[in-house]
Each structure stands twice: as C-alpha cells, then as structure tokens.
Chains A and B, each alone.
Chain A
Amino acid sequence: TQLLEQSPQFLSIQEGENLTVYCNSSSVFSSLQWYRQEPGEGPVLLVTVVTGGEVKKLKRLTFQFGDARKDSSLHITAAQPGDTGLYLCAGANNYGQNFVFGPGTRLSVLP
C-alpha cells in the first residue's frame, strides 16, 4: 500500500512570512496533486505535477516534484490570511487509480 507523509502537521505563521510544506513517500507516483481544503468544504485542486523535477508556479505558490517522483514541496511566499486551510497532497498510479492522500498540513496565517 502506498503511503504519503506530510510535514509539518500544523503551521502557524504571521502574515508576510514564507513557508514550505513537504509531502514524502517511499513509493513512486505517476502524478502528485496538491489540494486545499477549508472547513466544511471538499478539497479544491491547486496543481498537478507529473514530471520528475517539475516546478510549477501559481501566483505566490511554488510546487516542486522530486526528481524520483517520490516527494513534493509547496512553498508559499508572503503568506496571507486567505491562505489559511488544510493543504493535502495526493498521489496516483499511471492509470489514475489508487489515489492516496496524505494527512495534510494545517496552515494558519495570522493577520
């Protein structure tokens, strides 16, 4: 069974600070997705990375897929209170099956 670990589990920072959260596995994934979930809602997709070493930027968010496709990171520059939420990574095999979610990093950005 493929497993994803995320760190840190909780993160509380001040507005304007930078942060990085990590998603790690001992297994290789065909794709890694990052989602953000707010209380009472379902997760919303932020990005999909599929190529080892790939870097994607989405405004203040930078996503990286590890060269071996076993890990990923999410870096947020100048965090804002609106970034508060649960950040989840999810991996899948080549057929889009066996989706596995990590336990998430709960981010709180204080004004």
Chain B
Amino acid sequence: EAGVAQSPRYKIIEKRQSVAFWCNPISGHATLYWYQQILGQGPKLLIQFQNNGVVDDSQLPKDRFSAERLKGVDSTLKIQPAKLEDSAVYLCASSFALGPRNEQFFGPGTRLTVL
C-alpha cells in the first residue's frame, strides 16, 4: 500500500514570495490533515478536511494561508505571501475516517525555508 505522498520535499523562497505544497493521501482515506512543524516543536494542525469539506481550520492563518481539496482526494496548501516565520516542515497526514481513534498516516513532509 502506497503511503502519503508529498511534493516538493524541499523549497527555498524569499519572503513575500508565494509557494504551494501538494499532498496525495492514502487511497480511500477520507480525512486529510495539514500540519506545520517548526524546528524543535511538535506538529501544529493547520487544517483538517473530511472528504472535500473543512472540519477544522481554526489555526490556519487565513490572511496568507489557503488550502483546498476539491475532489476529496489530493490537496494543496498555499502560502501567499510568505514570511520568515513560515520556515518549517509542512506535514500532510491522512486517516481512514474522522474520529479520535483513527490512526493518522504521515507523509515525509516539505521543508520550507524562507529567506
């Protein structure tokens, strides 16, 4: 079974530029998550989708971050414009269904450096 795929693996941009990350979850997984992990910290949930609907985006900085999952499968996360403090690893995860017992399967992440 293929895991969660993310691209690119690394991205370096200058502040005020835009960047987009792509995630393809495990086939059949209805729930998709985007996390931001700053060096030395635990992952912070940015947005959670159930199929193509948003379940939780309370910690997404909506003035600069956006995410979509139009067909309920793959997803993109965009930052526009980027700030220095956005430097982090962006992790995508998926789970079979919504619920506190469901295992989240994580992708390898995209490491973003904003100069």
A: residues with CB less than 8 A from B are 4, 6, 29-31, 33, 40-45, 48, 50, 88, 90, 92-104
Contact = CB atoms under 8 A, between A and B. Distances in A.
A100 B45 contact: yes
A105 B35 CA distance: 19
Contact of A99 (B41, B48, B103, B105): B48
Contacts of B93: 42
Interface of B: 4, 31, 33, 35, 40-45, 48, 55-56, 58, 91, 93, 95, 97-109
A101 B44 contact: yes
A31 B101 contact: yes
Contact of A101 (B4, B42, B56): B42
Given A42-B107, A50-B100, A92-B100, A103 B45 contact: no
Mostly, the A contact residues are: loop
A29 B105 CA distance: 20
Contacts of B102: 96
A98 B56 contact: yes
Contacts of A101: 35, 42-45
Contacts of B45: 98-101
A99 B42 contact: no
| Most chain A beta carbons < 10 A, residue from B45, B104, B106 | B104
A30 B42 contact: no
Nearest to B6: A42
